Amino acid sequence: MKKSKLVMVGNGMAGVRTLEELIKVAPDLYDISVFGAEPHPNYNRILLSPVLAGEQTLDEIVLNSWDWYTDNHITLHAGKKVVEVDRIKRVVRADDGTEEEYDRLLMCTGSNPFILPVPGKDLQGVIAYRDIADTNAMIDAATKYKKAVVIGGGLLGLEAANGLMLRGMEVTVVHVMPWLMERQLDDVAGKLLQKSLEDRGLKFLIGAQTQELTGNEEGRVKSIKFKDGSEVATDLVVMAVGIRPNTQLAESMRLHCNKGIVVNDTMQTVTDARIYSVGECAAHRGIAYGLVAPLFEQAKVAANHLAMFGIGRYSGSLTSTKLKVTGIDLFSAGEFMGSDGAEEIVMSDPFGGVYKKLVIKDDKLIGACLYGDTVDGSYYFKLLRDGRNVSDIRDKLIFGESNLGDAGHEGQNKAALMADDAEVCGCNGVNKGTICKAIKEKGLFTLDEVRKHTKASASCGSCTGLVEQILMFTAGGDYSATPKLKAMCACTDHGHQAVRDAIRANKLLSISDTFKFMEWKTPNGCATCRPAVNYYLISTWPKQAKDDPQSRFINERSHANIQKDGTYSVIPRMWGGETTASELRRIADAVDKYKIPTVKVTGGQRIDLLGVKKEDLQNVWKDIGMPSGHAYAKALRTVKTCVGSEWCRMGTQDSTQMGKDLERAMWRMYAPHKVKFAVSGCPRNCAESGIKDVGIIGVDSGWEMYIAGNGGIKTEVAHFFTKLKTAAEVLEYTGAFCELYRQEGWYLERTVHYVNRVGLDYVKKKILEDHEGRKALWEQLQFALDGEPDPWFDLKEASVDARQFEKLTPA
């Protein structure tokens, strides 16, 4: 079959990203040719500022080398500007007469800098700041001249000014608005920024309106005159007052343009469905985006549609901003200026150079503006995107996500100040230098890519903010904007909620039915989606959906914890942390008999036997004769208790008995992630109930219940939930909360993250206010757990494939 022809006009970041995405999914569908007006391969335009500042070279910012085009059989017409497109004959014509026919056309003409219409704008030494030629002109001017004026105190203008200053020029920034970066910062942050830049040596003329540029005899600019009559001498004028979508060609083709080339949700122009447009030139729902993250989202959708999959939809992006001036951290997103009916939380330390403002409306975060300490930018951005109710965390919100117990990177919050050998990711031992190197050498753009290549932030995720900062100043721009809906894994475009909903609504009972129904892209999923789907099936349809052990992680398949040498650990259940002499004797005997190298008391008041060979597992279980502790599973693990009123002179309640009752009622309970309980007999709280998924604290008049605590990666103090009178109530409320979490939590989401996602108020409504609903949930849990097998003893009922324990020997 003859290949279709795809022609791309414009060789910029959004367009080439579209081609990359297209080649990834449909490598042989099109003959591709590309026209680019600049005589360069695709480069990272955002990094022109570091090039200007002398921190990087032009070669370093090339994204796709000439070889990339050849390797992918793409014809590149570099340095040829398209002047005409005949939509009837479907032919593209460049200024030198080169022609290409097309079946599909991709318009990525980007944007043009806006040039102030003042007298003298055409003088020598008056330039815009947009491409490599402009950057070279500035670098060149800095070697010959002394004085520069930058018109425009926005993102681009300040980066240009900073770069020229670093190259030794005296720079004055002229800004007509009352403070710098007025579209990204509020007045306070804008003035902090101005002060910090003044300390570095920049001069500012705020509120000055340019009237005229005057030239000398050679036709080169010599001064700038303002409306108030003042005048500043200069040898170079850089106009950075904004960009306009470049729609000249599109208009000549009679494509509908309105603040850009108007496109629909599949990035096709509304005028001609053969023609797509992505990038700064495209107007989607009235917005032409100028930041890279949304453009990459557009690229993905356009590629998907070009590949004839046609399932992607672009529905707009929220954007956030960061400035690429080394050593200055600022971040803003959403409606940071506030609006009618909005409330503001402000923290201001002008001497320390830190300013944070959060804008809240209807209990939701709608805007954020940070200066000086931006490590929580991505946290706020996520809250903003998710539209989550923040009333329950409002008192702590301004201090960010990292204010409490965030372990693993020495409490660092300024990546730029970290040395290259400083550790960023404490889980995987990745230092800053390694991350920077990978970003530069492998051309990484997104957090996901950095995770894949370096493993930084890939385990516990507590250093995500730092990694994003590093990504931002190494690759430029803000790449943190992930689509609102995160796909479960590469096997599907559906997110966790969609899969859960579909399983419930359509009564899907097996993994293969689910994959078929949800149009999975891979025949049998992967190690990420299969365990999740398996959990959703068995938690949604207990006793009906069949558990698939081959879709469980090894620990839940062999019912023991795999260790780094391939042996296993065995943790028997000790109800409420209590044991007996005969249990201990059996454990001791098993340790001797099977030569188990390490015996350790766990944090959950149990005993861990480490280094058991897989062949011995069944016999060890049998010899010990105690129930499975499920210490290997996403299930109820331990119920930690203190001694309680039976012995303790302070105890007010029998916490050990309460713990045993809870454990007996809910053991064998699989959940989205591991679940830990604790019961303390008095407010001294020796069982540490404040950092458990459900923590119970006895008081003289009954029991206090706390939920969604976590002692792990990030210490999260549990929320006080309710006060209960009887042990029966403790069982019912705890069970109901667990069942709610079981039914609604996403796989691998701990209770703290689940409650953060849905909001504590929602959980209170479901459990505390809806009495019928609570009872129903508690009954559903009891139904699900009734008759569940102990996998250590009822192998068949628990679908344990016993063949795994035996080794084969060649005949």
Partner 1 sequence: MSEWKKICLVTDIPVLGSRRVSRAKGIDVAVFRNDQDQVFALLDRCPHKGGPLSQGIVFGTSVACPLHNWTIGLADGCAKQPDEGCTPKFSCKVETGQVFLDAVELATLALDLQPPRAGPGATSGALGDESFSVQAPQTA
Pick between residue 244 and residue 455 the one whose CB is nearest to partner 1.
455
How far, rounded to the nearest angstrom, does the alpha carbon of residue 299 sit from its chain's CA centroid?
19
Contact 422, 485 (CB under 8 A): no
The rounded distance, in Å, linking the Cα atoms of 118 and 375 is: 41
What stretches of 466-579 adopt beta strand conformation (E)?
A: 561-562, 568-570
Q: How far is the CB of 174 from partner 1 (least distance, A)?
A: 46
The rounded distance, in Å, linking the Cα atoms of 642 and 391 is: 33
Give the footprint of partner 1 on this chain (CB under 8 A): 442, 452-453, 522-527, 530-531, 550-554, 557-558, 562-567, 591-592, 595-599, 610-611, 801, 803-804, 807-811
Instruction: Quickly list H helices, 53-107.
Output: 66-71
Q: How far is the CB of 587 from partner 1 (least distance, A)?
A: 13
Q: How far is the CB of 548 from partner 1 (least distance, A)?
A: 9
Instruction: Quickly list H helices, 519-654.
Output: 529-540, 554-558, 581-593, 617-624
Q: How far is the CB of 796 from partner 1 (least distance, A)?
A: 15
Q: How far is the CB of 434 from partner 1 (least distance, A)?
A: 13
Max CA distance (Å), the chain:
104
Q: How far is the CB of 170 from partner 1 (least distance, A)?
A: 46
Q: How far is the CB of 536 from partner 1 (least distance, A)?
A: 16
Q: How far is the CB of 609 from partner 1 (least distance, A)?
A: 11
Q: How far is the CB of 566 from partner 1 (least distance, A)?
A: 4
Q: How far is the CB of 373 from partner 1 (least distance, A)?
A: 32
737: left (phi over 0), alpha (psi -120 to 50) or beta: alpha
- Cα dihedral across residues 37, 40, 46, 50: positive or negative: negative
Pick between residue 166 and residue 470 the one whose CB is nearest to partner 1.
470
Contact 252, 258 (CB under 8 A): no
Q: How far is the CB of 308 from partner 1 (least distance, A)?
A: 23
Pick between residue 616 and residue 744 the one whose CB is nearest to partner 1.
616
Pick between residue 592 and residue 700 the one whose CB is nearest to partner 1.
592
Neighbours of 170 (CB within 10 A): 16
Pick between residue 590 and residue 708 the one whose CB is nearest to partner 1.
590
The rounded distance, in Å, linking the Cα atoms of 121 and 146 is: 20
Pick between residue 88 and residue 527 the one whose CB is nearest to partner 1.
527
Pick between residue 248 and residue 524 the one whose CB is nearest to partner 1.
524
DSSP-derived 3-state class of residue 575: helix
What is the identity of the amino acid at 804? Q
Sequence-separated contacts (24+) of 20-24 with Cβ below 8 Å: 20/64, 20/299, 20/303, 21/299, 21/300, 21/302, 21/303, 21/304, 22/303, 22/306, 22/307, 23/72, 24/303
Pick between residue 52 and residue 491 the one whose CB is nearest to partner 1.
491
The rounded distance, in Å, linking the Cα atoms of 706 and 421 is: 41
The rounded distance, in Å, linking the Cα atoms of 608 and 130 is: 63
Q: Counting Cβ atoms within 10 Å, is residue 687 exposed (0-12), middle (13-18) or buried (19+)?
A: buried
Of 252, 215, 210, 253, nearest to 228 by C-alpha is 210
The rounded distance, in Å, linking the Cα atoms of 154 and 47 is: 16
Q: How far is the CB of 46 from partner 1 (least distance, A)?
A: 23
The rounded distance, in Å, linking the Cα atoms of 755 and 641 is: 24
Quote the tokens at residue 499: 């899969």
What is the identity of the amino acid at 47? L
Q: How far is the CB of 810 from partner 1 (least distance, A)?
A: 4
Pick between residue 117 and residue 566 the one whose CB is nearest to partner 1.
566
Q: How far is the CB of 595 from partner 1 (least distance, A)?
A: 4
Pick between residue 535 and residue 667 the one whose CB is nearest to partner 1.
535
First to last CA, the chain: 52
Pick between residue 410 and residue 801 the one whose CB is nearest to partner 1.
801
**The three-state (H, E, C) secondary structure of 299-354, written as one string:** HHHHHHHHCCCCCCCCCCCCCEEECCCCCCCEEEEECCCCCCCCEEEEEEECCCCE
Of 278, 244, 288, nearest to 21 by C-alpha is 278
Q: How far is the CB of 598 from partner 1 (least distance, A)?
A: 6
How far, rounded to the nearest angstrom, does the alpha carbon of residue 70 sit from its chain's CA centroid?
34
Task: Report strand pairing: 354-361 vs 364-371.
Answer: antiparallel
Pick between residue 200 and residue 453 the one whose CB is nearest to partner 1.
453
Quote the tokens at residue 787: 């008759």
Quote the tokens at residue 744: 């609604």
Q: Give one DSSP letter per residue of 754-789, joined into a string.
A: HHHHH-HHHHHIIIII-HHHHHHHHHHHHHHHTT--
Pick between residue 209 and residue 804 the one whose CB is nearest to partner 1.
804
What stretches of 585-646 adopt beta strand conformation (E)?
A: 598-601, 607-612, 636-641
Pick between residue 492 and residue 645 the one whose CB is nearest to partner 1.
492
Q: How far is the CB of 220 from partner 1 (least distance, A)?
A: 50
Quote the tokens at residue 173: 């920034």
Q: How far is the CB of 471 from partner 1 (least distance, A)?
A: 16
How far, rounded to the nearest angstrom, does the alpha carbon of residue 277 sit from its chain's CA centroid?
26
Of 312, 316, 264, nearest to 287 by C-alpha is 316
Q: Counting Cβ atoms within 10 Å, is residue 140 exposed (0-12), middle (13-18) or buried (19+)?
A: exposed
Pick between residue 187 and residue 801 the one whose CB is nearest to partner 1.
801
How far, rounded to the nearest angstrom, does the alpha carbon of residue 520 sit from its chain's CA centroid?
23
Q: How far is the CB of 146 from partner 1 (least distance, A)?
A: 48
Pick between residue 438 and residue 740 the one whose CB is nearest to partner 1.
438
Pick between residue 130 and residue 552 the one whose CB is nearest to partner 1.
552
Pick between residue 347 and residue 489 the one whose CB is nearest to partner 1.
489
629: Cα within 13 Å, side-chain hemisphere: 27
Of 632, 649, 709, nearest to 676 by C-alpha is 709
